[in-house]
């Protein structure tokens, strides 16, 4: 019946009315907004209020010939009013329930105000932290990102899109946007079909399986073809192969910018090229339902009628699923305009689960400084630009997102018995004269220094690529000067990306890290510092030692000459007679002469306040056939972890797969399972991982392959490891 309704509407539409549905625009002027709706546009950005949205919907329904309601879009990325941790911080939790909590809260707040479509989640894989938009995604692992993508889509959309607390999700940016050359936003990408399908496509496929209502085309070109004109990816792969039945929306002016890419001569040609390729809704650009200077689009022969009709039906189907034809309005008296006690509690719990303890002791006589002991620590200096700052929301927050308190406020509240001194020490970008020396003087009179440093929110996100990703301004110098005083130091480090911390990381005692945590971030940090919460976050994206190492990531492929020792600038290939270790046996291997091997903090790294016995891993069987896997069978691996320490806490178990011999060189290991388990002191927690055909398969450049052979599985909690091997037989 509902399908009949939208097909009936399509049959009555004029060509201009169809084209008008294929566009979303942002118009700040109210009069111009209303005029555009009267002319039949299909989607608008949020006005922003429930009353203003209802008025737009009223005009669309009552003052247009066909009465088609509007899609109302907004980037609700990690919160509408209650701001949750940034997506990369959420990935640090290794708990998709954190993303789900954000999605449910965001959907409730947004839909109550008339927003029915969000441009989130971003599921781009990136291994280059110079790219500012890494903060919007779920890290470098396709498996981890896929799990979070599915959870976020399901949470936004709920059990029914028509519900008053559900909004349509949008997977972005399709595809390989995170592979931008040099980590520079909007830049070109060149990716093999094999890597495209094994690395960049899986999170989108997971989101499509979860029922995502829309997908956004990315700004980049892929192998020379701009994505807004890439019919192979948008139509053949996304719609036909993956079975995506929703709406493909362009990114801001992305269709019009095909002229700048150099694949279209005029804007009208660019729009036609984009729609033909598979974009269903153009974002921005000239009015598509009105006469324009180049009116070629207004001749049905300029576009394939069936393609336009398909796009319109997809749009109408999403509106039907949202229940807009039956009731396009919201009850403005029930519109949410501020966080509730519950949403704050949920945001705080999510932030607590997203904090990573990078380091705790080992660089000085102070030993493990965290959690803080209020009895032995009487005089505390809090310094650094994040001491007093309330910049905790992170990138991609609308102006109406509710801010946070400062670390000074939350720490004074939690450690009221201590004597506090607060000095700025340095600014985020520039420092005032005397700031550093005042902090150093205060440090000498303190028992402990908490150095709150980091990268402010505006330095990450869209159009925020950085060529150097160390701490900005004079913060490195502040850390070194404080360390030189000899006072024990805890660094609280906040950022929107993994940072290069080599200048000081070996000199400080303890480091607590988080990607920006949102409205309740400082409260969560205070609770973790106090030991009310034991940190269990894990690094979702590798921390390089140097920008020169980028890209560096956990699932890199094997090389024929792997290095086993670090390089040396002093030894040469011909110094055979040198005494002592000179790396000659390992000279011609894959490494840098001027850096130790490996990253500073690898994917999955993270410490806590208790001790877990090494995780145990067992396979229920030693072999399984490809035929059984193809028929839906799975290999079961049981895992255990025991809390042998003094505190109840969470532990994160990560299961990696290695394929030592295959027809295509494989990653050294790749994530194929993970779980976050709460374990009381002295108790053991268990979980079973099921490995199916999808987990063992991989692509060559033509097809997906599953091959017999030996597979090695490694279970780790970031500290200890356990291995088992399983034979995969042909039959």
Mean pLDDT over 574-594 rounds to: 66
Together in a domain, 624 and 578: no
**Residue pair 225/258 in contact by the 8 Å Cβ criterion:** no
Counts of helices then strands in the chain (DSSP H, E): 20, 26
Together in a domain, 504 and 569: no
Residue 254's pLDDT is what? 97
For 545, residues 6+ apart whose C-beta sits below 8 A from its C-beta are: 500, 502, 595, 596, 599, 600
Mean pLDDT over 584-594 rounds to: 83
Together in a domain, 623 and 500: no
**Cα 347 from Cα 101, distance rounded (Å):** 8
For residue 341, being part of any structural domain is answered with no
Together in a domain, 90 and 131: yes
Residue 572's pLDDT is what? 58
The pair phi, psi for residue 171, each rounded to 5°, is -75, 130
Strand partners, 510: 360, 490
CATH for 423: 3.40.50.1700
For residue 606, being part of any structural domain is answered with no
Mean pLDDT over 552-578 rounds to: 78
Q: How far is CA 675 from CA 4, 401, 562, 672, in A?
A: 45, 31, 30, 11
For residue 400, being part of any structural domain is answered with yes
**pLDDT beyond 60 at 295:** no
Q: What is the pTM of this model?
A: 0.96
Residue 566's pLDDT is what? 86
Residue 324's pLDDT is what? 98
Angle at 394 between CA 343 and CA 460, to 5 degrees: 160
Together in a domain, 593 and 495: no
Last residue of a domain, one of 573, 597, 621: 597
Together in a domain, 215 and 83: yes
For residue 544, being part of any structural domain is answered with no
Strands 684-691 and 635-642: antiparallel
**Cα 233 from Cα 244, distance rounded (Å):** 12
For residue 549, being part of any structural domain is answered with no
Query: Which residue's entry shows tokens 């102006």?
Result: 399
Structure tokens, 109: 């707040």
Angle at 287 between CA 284 and CA 291, to 5 degrees: 160
**Residue pair 425/478 in contact by the 8 Å Cβ criterion:** yes
Mean pLDDT over 489-510 rounds to: 97
pLDDT in tens, 514-546: 999 999 999 999 999 999 999 999 999 999 999
**Cα 729 from Cα 711, distance rounded (Å):** 11
3-class SS at 727?
Answer: strand
Together in a domain, 440 and 579: no
Residue 680's pLDDT is what? 97
**Cα 57 from Cα 44, distance rounded (Å):** 10
291: exposed, middle or buried (Cβ count in 10 Å: 0-12, 13-18, 19+): exposed
Residue 301's pLDDT is what? 75
Together in a domain, 585 and 635: no
For 548, residues 6+ apart whose C-beta sits below 8 A from its C-beta are: 592, 595
**pLDDT beyond 50 at 576:** no
Torsion of CA 301, 302, 304, 309, to 10 degrees: -90
Together in a domain, 261 and 406: no
Residue 342's pLDDT is what? 98
pLDDT in tens, 139-188: 999 999 999 999 999 999 999 999 999 999 999 999 999 999 999 999 99
Together in a domain, 383 and 298: no
Query: What is the 8-class DSSP label of residue 301?
Result: G
C-beta neighbour count of 621 within 10 angstroms:
10
Q: Mark 353-380 as b/e (b = at least 16 C-beta within 10 Å).
A: bbbbbbbbeebbebeebbbbeeeebeeb
For residue 607, being part of any structural domain is answered with no
106: exposed, middle or buried (Cβ count in 10 Å: 0-12, 13-18, 19+): buried
How large a percentage of the chain has pLDDT more than 90? 91
Task: Estimate to the nearest angstrom the gap between the alpha carbon of 306 and the chain centroid.
Answer: 36
pLDDT in tens, 430-451: 999 999 999 999 999 999 999 9
pLDDT band at 292 (very low <50, low <70, confident <90, very high): very low
**Cα 659 from Cα 669, distance rounded (Å):** 8
**Cα 546 from Cα 600, distance rounded (Å):** 9
**Residue pair 726/618 in contact by the 8 Å Cβ criterion:** no
pLDDT band at 568 (very low <50, low <70, confident <90, very high): confident
Q: Which helix (H) or strand (E) holds 375?
A: none
- Sequence-separated contacts (24+) of 220-225 with Cβ below 8 Å: 220/173, 220/176, 220/177, 220/179, 220/180, 220/186, 220/187, 220/188, 220/189, 221/188, 221/189, 221/261, 222/175, 222/176, 222/189, 222/190, 222/191, 222/196, 223/189, 223/190, 223/191, 224/190, 225/263
Together in a domain, 436 and 291: no
Q: Find the catalytic residue in 128, 198, 251, 346.
A: 251
pLDDT in tens, 34-49: 999 999 999 999 999 9
3-class SS at 419?
Answer: strand
* List of E strands, 203-336: 214-217, 221-222, 225-226, 247-249, 282-283
For residue 641, being part of any structural domain is answered with yes
Query: Which residue's entry shows tokens 């990408």?
Result: 189
Residue 580's pLDDT is what? 45
Torsion of CA 462, 463, 467, 472, to 10 degrees: -70
**pLDDT beyond 50 at 339:** yes
Last residue of a domain, one of 334, 368, 386: 334
pLDDT in tens, 18-30: 999 999 999 999 9
For 450, residues 6+ apart whose C-beta sits below 8 A from its C-beta are: 380, 381, 382, 383, 411, 490, 492, 529
Mean residue pLDDT across the chain: 94
C-beta neighbour count of 388 within 10 angstroms:
16
Residue 720 is among the residues annotated as catalytic for this protein:
no
Together in a domain, 624 and 524: no
**Residue pair 562/598 in contact by the 8 Å Cβ criterion:** no
Domain residues for 122? 1-334
How large a percentage of the chain has pLDDT more than 70? 96
336 closest CA partner among 110, 21, 647, 623 = 110
For residue 545, being part of any structural domain is answered with no
Mean pLDDT over 476-503 rounds to: 97
Residue 366's pLDDT is what? 55
Mean pLDDT over 361-367 rounds to: 60
Specify the number of domains making up the chain. Answer: 4
Q: Which helix (H) or strand (E) holds 623?
A: strand 623-625
């Amino acid at each position: 019946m509902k399908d009949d309704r939208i097909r009936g509407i399509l049959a009555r539409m004029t060509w201009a009315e169809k084209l008008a549905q294929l566009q979303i625009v942002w118009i700040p002027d109210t009069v111009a907004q209303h005029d555009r709706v009267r002319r039949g546009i299909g989607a608008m950005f949020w006005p922003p209020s429930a009353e203003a949205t209802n008025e737009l919907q009223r005009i669309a329904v009552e003052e247009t010939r066909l009465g088609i309601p509007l899609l109302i879009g907004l980037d609700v990325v990690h919160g509408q009013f209650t701001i949750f941790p940034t997506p990369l911080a959420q990935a640090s939790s290794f708990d998709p329930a954190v993303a789900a909590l954000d999605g449910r809260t965001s959907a409730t707040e947004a839909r109550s105000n008339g927003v029915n479509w969000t441009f989130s989640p971003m599921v781009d894989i990136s291994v280059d932290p110079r790219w500012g938009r890494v903060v919007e995604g779920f890290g470098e692992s396709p498996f981890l990102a896929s799990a979070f993508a599915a959870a976020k889509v399901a949470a936004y959309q709920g059990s029914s899109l028509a519900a008053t607390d559900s909004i349509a999700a949008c997977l972005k940016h399709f595809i390989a946007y995170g592979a931008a050359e040099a980590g520079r936003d909007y830049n070109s990408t060149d990716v093999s079909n094999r890597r495209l399908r094994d690395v960049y496509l899986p999170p989108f496929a997971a989101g499509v399986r979860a029922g995502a209502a829309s997908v956004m085309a990315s700004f980049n070109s892929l192998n020379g073809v701009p994505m807004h004109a890439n019919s192979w990816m948008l139509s053949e792969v996304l719609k036909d192969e993956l079975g995506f039945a929703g709406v493909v929306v362009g990114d801001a002016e992305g269709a019009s910018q095909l002229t700048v890419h150099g694949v279209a001569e005029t804007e009208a040609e660019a729009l036609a090229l984009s729609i033909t390729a598979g974009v269903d809704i153009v974002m921005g650009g000239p009015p598509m339902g009105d006469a324009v200077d180049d009116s070629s689009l207004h001749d049905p022969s300029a576009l394939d009628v069936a393609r336009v009709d398909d796009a319109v039906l997809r749009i109408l189907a999403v509106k039907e699923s949202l229940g807009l034809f039956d009731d396009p309005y919201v009850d403005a008296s029930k519109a949410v305009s501020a966080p509730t006690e519950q949403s704050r509690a949920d945001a705080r719990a999510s932030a607590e689960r997203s904090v990573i303890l990078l380091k705790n002791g080992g660089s000085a006589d102070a030993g493990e400084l965290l959690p803080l002991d209020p009895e032995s620590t009487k005089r505390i200096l809090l310094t650094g630009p994040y001491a007093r700052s309330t910049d905790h929301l992170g990138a991609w927050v609308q102006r109406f997102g509710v801010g946070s308190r400062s670390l000074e406020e939350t720490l004074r509240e939690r450690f009221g018995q201590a004597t506090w001194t607060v000095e700025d020490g340095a600014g985020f970008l520039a420092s005032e004269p005397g700031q550093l020396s005042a902090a150093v003087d205060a440090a000498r009179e303190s028992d402990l220094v908490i150095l709150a440093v980091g990268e402010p929110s505006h330095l990450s996100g869209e159009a925020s690529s950085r060529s150097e990703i160390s701490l900005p301004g004079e913060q490195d110098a502040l850390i070194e000067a404080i360390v030189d005083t000899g006072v024990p130091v805890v660094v609280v480090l906040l950022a929107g990306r993994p940072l290069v911390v080599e200048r000081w990381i070996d000199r400080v005692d303890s480091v607590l890290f988080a990607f920006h945590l949102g409205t309740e971030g400082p409260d969560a940090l205070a609770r973790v510092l106090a030991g009310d919460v034991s940190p269990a976050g894990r690094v979702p994206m590798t921390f390089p030692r140097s920008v020169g190492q980028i890209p560096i990531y956990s699932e890199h492929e094997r090389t024929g000459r792997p290095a086993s020792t670090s390089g040396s600038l002093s030894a040469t290939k011909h110094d055979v007679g040198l005494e002592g270790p000179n790396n000659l046996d390992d000279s011609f291997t894959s490494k840098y002469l001027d850096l130790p091997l490996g990253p500073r903090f690898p994917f999955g790294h993270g410490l806590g306040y208790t001790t877990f016995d090494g995780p145990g891993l067992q396979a229920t069987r030693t072999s399984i056939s490809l035929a059984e896997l193809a028929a839906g069978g799975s290999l079961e691996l049981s895992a255990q972890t025991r809390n042998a320490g003094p505190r109840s806490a969470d532990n994160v178990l990560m299961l990696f797969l290695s394929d030592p011999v295959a027809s295509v060189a494989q990653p050294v290991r790749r994530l194929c399972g993970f779980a976050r388990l709460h374990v009381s002191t002295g108790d053991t927690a268990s979980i079973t991982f099921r490995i199916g055909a999808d987990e063992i398969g991989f692509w060559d450049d033509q097809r997906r392959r599953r091959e017999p052979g030996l597979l090695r599985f490694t279970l780790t909690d970031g500290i200890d490891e356990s291995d088992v091997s399983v034979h995969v037989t042909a039959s």
